[in-house]
Chains A and B, each alone.
Chain A
């Protein structure tokens, strides 16, 4: 299995008051699944995604990612997991405004280059040591991805010169460039018109057919319909 959440609870504190965002959630995600997470705002779906994405730690419970217990890893170790295992796609794309499409896609590769394979990232190892071995190879991989997503003619355009759909496809290429087993998308179609939304969802479907596990958050039923499995959250608990 890709993800195994065991009795995950997350409690936020605002002053003295404890606000539980997730209550004892247990969840197993097998490789190749395509899951849509739905729920009203405040239902805890973003918190769940943050924990699955190794951006946040649970208050209690255990999280296994590809059989590895990542619950108690430190900041650097989590950064390494995010870099290698997880691709992020955001509602507002989050592209670097000054970088070209190609450079945006290459970004995760730079942070991959300085890591030792054990994920400790002690910073002593030479650049270009693991995975991608040279600048040219990086560029080539980013290039291929953008071509595959139909942006071969947009490589050197800045985000502001691209349409919303194109920007989201650049972001998807960025998420895929380190070949992660898991892609997390937080309302990826929230800023797109419905035609473009369906194009992007078709793309997700293709990626899923290629074997990538996808979890996405959405408000819209017709977007969620692209997924194979639906998880509905309410008050920090899985309803369906």
Chain B
């Protein structure tokens, strides 16, 4: 008996009892739809978190000056002014892995434009900063090396600052006052949203790092708060850290026994933790959802057992006219697969629809991946095979004489 025909026969026997078949399929539909919807929401959340983390910039390394220590008492990272912009230049020049680098100097201050004012963090950086942070300009332009050299009073503002100081006005070319000194706005950064930990990344004013030191902090020194750099790929992370450590130790004339007077951090820990958490949540929900699939599968087994009993005479007759055990087995397994397969397809449609609805109504990010659809379909078919096998096996082991006599 060929497979196409077997499917035809299966469809016909299932359509004999439409309500019963429908209810059995419903069990699978609910199970698959729940799994699909939960996976969609979970994967959507994961993707959102990952994009938030990568919005900070890709393959980032952060170098902080080491802690100051007096008589064995440490004051915490960044309290010692050991890291300078020329350390950054040296790393950029000597390291094989570093693609771009910017020193960062930080301060804060009151911003004033006409009658409006706003307090914001001020970051001093080098011209490569937008490239490193993967941050585009919405309007205007970023400053150049020459601006850094001469510590020009120009600035690029974040979206939040632009909104608070300028509202609908175009900020480019306008003069704002930072700590009472006039700065010309030359560009506006694209909106980046909040960071993974909730900080508003757009509430920032970016100026040349030299401007922060010379003009805003009135200092002649070149020490910086941080060096921010990115490397070519995550796989080079460890070797890059090692190399930068070597370069800095050499430049700082540290004795072999001495501790580093700087710290190098990267984003992988954070990214790993957050992604892993999201993945675990998704897995947990998917497990809960698949319990309903299990219940659906038991429903299929139940109905198939009833069906085998009801059709004992038919099985006996088929055996009498030459059906082997395996023909009967195949027939009933295919019936179970048709039930679970139809349930699977409808479940995928309804699950995707539910996910889409959740996205529309609650504004959650959802992602129905081809992978989860394929997985759901394979899984539902497997449920059919698994739960259909036992009833089918019972049918195939029937004694034809007794089956024919069954009332």
Q: Flag if A84 contacts B322 (CB, 8 Å).
A: yes
Q: A83 with B401: in contact, given A111-B327, A113-B2 (CB under 8 Å)?
A: no
Q: Quote the shortest CB–CB distance from B405 to chain A (angstroms).
A: 9
Q: Flag if A111 contacts B313 (CB, 8 Å).
A: no
A133 to B400, CA, bound (A): 28
Q: Flag if B401 contacts A107 (CB, 8 Å).
A: no
User: What are the residues of chain B within 8 A of A110 when measuring CB–CB?
Assistant: 1, 5
Quick check: which of A73-81, A190-198, A211-219 contacts chain B, the rest being far away? Answer: A73-81
Q: A121 with B12: in contact, given A107-B318, A110-B5, A113-B1 (CB under 8 Å)?
A: no
Q: Flag if A111 contacts B400 (CB, 8 Å).
A: no
Interface residues on B, range: 20 to 34
Q: Flag if B1 contacts A94 (CB, 8 Å).
A: no
A65 to B304, CA, bound (A): 37
Interface residues of B in 5-52 (CB under 8 A from A): 5, 12-13, 16
Q: Flag if A112 contacts B320 (CB, 8 Å).
A: no
User: What are the residues of chain A within 8 A of B326 when measuring CB–CB?
Assistant: 76, 123
Q: Contacting A82 at CB < 8 Å: which of B5, B13, B320, B327?
A: B320
A114 to B328, CA, bound (A): 13
User: What are the residues of chain B within 8 A of A121 when measuring CB–CB?
Assistant: 324
Closest partner residue, chain A, to B327 (CB atom): A111
Q: Flag if A79 contacts B2 (CB, 8 Å).
A: no
Interface residues of A in 52-97 (CB under 8 A from B): 53, 55-56, 75-76, 79-80, 82-84, 88, 90, 94, 96
Q: Flag if B318 contacts A76 (CB, 8 Å).
A: no
Q: Flag if A79 contacts B401 (CB, 8 Å).
A: no
User: What are the residues of chain B within 8 A of A123 when measuring CB–CB?
Assistant: 326
Q: Flag if B317 contacts A112 (CB, 8 Å).
A: no
User: What are the residues of chain B within 8 A of A108 when measuring CB–CB?
Assistant: 321-322
Q: Flag if B400 contacts A55 (CB, 8 Å).
A: yes
Q: Quote the shortest CB–CB distance from A45 to chain B (angstroms).
A: 14
Q: A79 with B324: in contact, given A55-B401, A96-B317 (CB under 8 Å)?
A: yes
User: What are the residues of chain B within 8 A of A4 when measuring CB–CB?
Assistant: none
Q: Flag if B321 contacts A82 (CB, 8 Å).
A: yes
A85 to B36, CA, bound (A): 53
Asked whether B384 is an interface residue with its Cβ less than 8 Å from the other chain, the reply is no
Closest partner residue, chain A, to B12 (CB atom): A98
Asked whether B323 is an interface residue with its Cβ less than 8 Å from the other chain, the reply is yes
Closest partner residue, chain B, to A49 (CB atom): B401
Q: Contacting B16 at CB < 8 Å: which of A80, A82, A98?
A: A98
Asked whether B232 is an interface residue with its Cβ less than 8 Å from the other chain, the reply is no
Q: Quote the shortest CB–CB distance from A14 to chain B (angstroms).
A: 14
Asked whether B314 is an interface residue with its Cβ less than 8 Å from the other chain, the reply is yes
Q: Flag if B319 contacts A79 (CB, 8 Å).
A: yes
Asked whether B68 is an interface residue with its Cβ less than 8 Å from the other chain, the reply is no
Q: Quote the shortest CB–CB distance from B16 to chain A (angstroms).
A: 6
Asked whether A174 is an interface residue with its Cβ less than 8 Å from the other chain, the reply is yes
User: What are the residues of chain A within 8 A of B314 when measuring CB–CB?
Assistant: 96
User: What are the residues of chain B within 8 A of A107 when measuring CB–CB?
Assistant: 318, 321
Interface residues of A in 143-166 (CB under 8 A from B): none
Q: Contacting A111 at CB < 8 Å: which of B16, B318, B401, B404?
A: B318
Asked whether A127 is an interface residue with its Cβ less than 8 Å from the other chain, the reply is yes
A114 to B12, CA, bound (A): 21
Q: Flag if A76 contacts B321 (CB, 8 Å).
A: no
Asked whether B325 is an interface residue with its Cβ less than 8 Å from the other chain, the reply is yes
Type the 1/0 row for A103-136, where 1 means its CB is closer than 8 Å to any CB of B.
0000110111110000001010001100000000
A84 to B321, CA, bound (A): 9
Q: A94 with B322: in contact, given A55-B400, A111-B1 (CB under 8 Å)?
A: no
Q: A127 with B323: in contact, given A90-B404, A98-B16 (CB under 8 Å)?
A: no
Asked whether A50 is an interface residue with its Cβ less than 8 Å from the other chain, the reply is yes
Q: Flag if B322 contacts A80 (CB, 8 Å).
A: yes
Q: Flag if A83 contacts B322 (CB, 8 Å).
A: yes
Q: Flag if A76 contacts B324 (CB, 8 Å).
A: yes
Interface residues of B in 316-364 (CB under 8 A from A): 316-327
Q: Quote the shortest CB–CB distance from B319 to chain A (angstroms).
A: 7
Q: Flag if A55 contacts B318 (CB, 8 Å).
A: no
On B, residues with C-beta under 8 Å from A are 1-2, 5, 12-13, 16, 313-314, 316-327, 400-401, 404
Of all A-B residue pairs in the complex, the 4 with the closest CB atoms, nearest first, are: A83-B322, A111-B322, A127-B2, A108-B321
Listed by A's residue number, 12 A-B pairs whose Cβ atoms lie within 8 Å are A53-B320, A55-B404, A75-B324, A76-B324, A76-B325, A79-B323, A80-B324, A94-B317, A96-B314, A98-B12, A110-B1, A113-B1
